[in-house]
Amino acid sequence: MKRFLTAGLAATALSLPTLAAAQEAVSFDQRVNDVFASSTGWFVNLIFMNLPGTNFPWIVLWLVVAASIFTIYFGFIQIKAFGHAISLVKGDYSDPNDAGEVSHFQALTTALSGTVGLGNIAGVAVAVGIGGPGATFWMILAGLLGMASKFTECTLGVKYRNEYADGTVSGGPMYYMTKGFKERGLPGGKVLAVIFAIFTIGGALGGGNMFQANQAHEQITQITGDFSGLITGVIFAAVVFAVIVGGIKSIASVTEKVVPFMGILYVLAALVILIMNADQIGWAFGQIFAGAFTGLGVAGGFVGALIQGFKRAAFSNEAGVGSAAIAHSAVKTKEPVTEGVVSLLEPFIDTVVICTMTALVITISGVLVMDPATGNFVLNEAGTAIQTIDGSSGVSLTSAAFASGFSWFPYVLAVAVILFAFSTMISWSYYGLKAWTYLFGEGKTTELIFKLIFCFFIIVGAAAQLGAVIDFSDAMIFAMAVVNITALYFLMPIVKREMNSYFKRIKSGEIVKHSH
């Protein structure tokens, strides 16, 4: 709006139709938001409700407690099996004759593309901005614990998947809830599976789709100035459809190239900033550890740093949500535990590596300053306007931090954001599709209907500002975790049995490396 007001009378006159159209679009978006918020607000509030007397969402505690229980129950599997996970990803134990559609590496990159995204860029900035550098410590801890949750759900995903005559597979929480509960003689598995599938479809269309398109468009407009959201949406929808129409093999062939590229691009950009400020790295880690236990510069003190760190890890790596189990179920293997072990690497790469790099860059770059009046960290953009950190300023903070190294670094960041958004969309299209086919049956026509619906919502997400819709879909993603973790508690003895059998056979030499 400011651009219109400062461009002079003639320019303003020329843009009146555009302004009128924009105002009409805003009012339409607002009407949709209001209607949606009034009907779904209760669900959003329920999922993200804080524990009494705190500002700690109960859903985050639900995820962290589960991750801690799985860590202890499986004997710190994330430490014991880390080296073996790397061997599996390299293909050391891969047999091309095993059932499945994708390699261990492709399954890992597909699942990573669904979790490595805007949360690693904007979300970490929000966490550090509110919780101070100390939030990073708790974020890393929660990421390490979350590795055990991924192990549990992805092992079950492969064990109970459906394998079809044409070589395709379908797996995920819907299948292990149904089959696993039946195997253990437990009731309610089918009910849990249907509820989970409904939540997955809602999460896929919103948080895994519309939100990504919306944020990607925002980055494009920051580079190009005014740009039509409709055009952005149509382009994204066309590219995404071209990828997802080919199924999981097509998705995996794209993610195995895009994910390593965008991850390396982002980490290299961060490393350049860190190398330029190498003398401050020790100080930054000091700030992280001091802030973790003293709450340095955080209104909520130690608890504030802990809450922000745990929240960011939970919202970033999706450990316990069950989404990754759908991607990992497509892997070529006859040993379910192998994919559980491979999935350990996801929270490590997503949270421990990429999120930590973001937090270090923000801490070292000097864009965080403390407001002496409140003691809270605030954003000092280019040393001028001081702005309190909130959800909308997350990308701005990260962008300002990267710009401290080179003025053109925000463009690299913009490319990373667009790639992150694209890869997240194609992964979540697969998650939503498998939930859809679980409810409505397998078949080319059924699949095509969902893919067209998914691509339509990309256009809506890029062209509209539907905040309440996004809030609702985010709530659905975390509602998936309520259903999924409930099932994992009942099924974790099966995972332990599989784990003990697998590592016993590795030790005895019954399972050997394959020559390639």
Quick one: average pLDDT of 478-495? 95
- The whole-number pLDDT of residue 11 equals 37
Q: In angstroms, what is the C-alpha Rg of the chain?
A: 23
- The whole-number pLDDT of residue 376 equals 52
Torsion over CA: 143, 146, 151, 153 (sign): negative
Written as one letter, the residue type at 35 is V
**Is the pLDDT assigned to residue 397 strictly greater than 80?**
no
Burial class for 9, CB neighbours closer than 10 Å (0-12, 13-18, 19+): exposed
The whole-angstrom separation of Cα 114 and Cα 330 is: 15
**Is the pLDDT assigned to residue 135 strictly greater than 90?**
no
Q: Give the chain's mean pLDDT.
A: 80
Helix (DSSP H) and strand (DSSP E) numbers for the chain:
25, 5
**Is the pLDDT assigned to residue 179 strictly greater than 90?**
yes
Quick one: average pLDDT of 107-124? 73
Structure tokens belonging to residue 349: 């790469």
Structure tokens belonging to residue 258: 């895009």
Distances (CA, A) of 273 to 269, 286, 425, 433: 7, 18, 29, 40
Read off the pLDDT band of 312 (50, 70, 90). confident
The whole-angstrom separation of Cα 466 and Cα 122 is: 19
Q: For 435-444, which contacts have Cβ atoms below 8 Å and span 24 or more sequence positions?
A: 435/172, 435/174, 435/196, 435/197, 435/198, 435/200, 435/201, 435/204, 435/326, 436/197, 436/201, 437/170, 438/170, 438/172, 438/174, 438/175, 438/193, 438/197, 439/194, 439/197, 439/198, 439/201, 442/164, 442/170
Domains annotated for the chain, with CATH where assigned, are 80-508 (1.20.1730)
The whole-angstrom separation of Cα 353 and Cα 168 is: 33
**Is the pLDDT assigned to residue 285 strictly greater than 60?**
yes
- The whole-number pLDDT of residue 68 equals 95
Query: Phi, psi at residue 322, to the nearest 5°?
Result: 100, -10
**Is the pLDDT assigned to residue 385 strictly greater than 70?**
no
- The whole-number pLDDT of residue 377 equals 54
Tokens 């006159």 map to which residue?
13
Other Cβ atoms closer than 10 A to 435 = 28
Quick one: average pLDDT of 380-388? 34
Q: Do 337 and 331 touch, CB atoms closer than 8 A?
A: no
The whole-angstrom separation of Cα 412 and Cα 57 is: 34
Quick one: average pLDDT of 452-479? 82
- The whole-number pLDDT of residue 418 equals 82
- pLDDT tens for each residue of 237-266: 998 898 888 877 777 788 778 778 877 878
- The whole-number pLDDT of residue 219 equals 75
The whole-angstrom separation of Cα 206 and Cα 215 is: 12
The whole-angstrom separation of Cα 79 and Cα 508 is: 21
- pLDDT tens for each residue of 401-457: 777 777 777 777 777 778 888 888 888 999 999 999 999 988 888 999 999 999 998
* Nearest CA-CA partner of 43 in 208, 205, 203, 210: 203
The whole-angstrom separation of Cα 17 and Cα 23 is: 10
| Global pTM value | 0.83
Q: Give me the count of residues in the chain.
A: 516
**Is the pLDDT assigned to residue 15 strictly greater than 60?**
no
- pLDDT tens for each residue of 147-174: 999 999 999 999 999 888 877 788 899 9
The whole-angstrom separation of Cα 243 and Cα 253 is: 9
**Is the pLDDT assigned to residue 32 strictly greater than 70?**
no
Residue 391 DSSP class = G
- The whole-number pLDDT of residue 427 equals 86
Helix (H, G, I), strand (E, B) or coil at 488: helix
Structure tokens belonging to residue 152: 């549990």
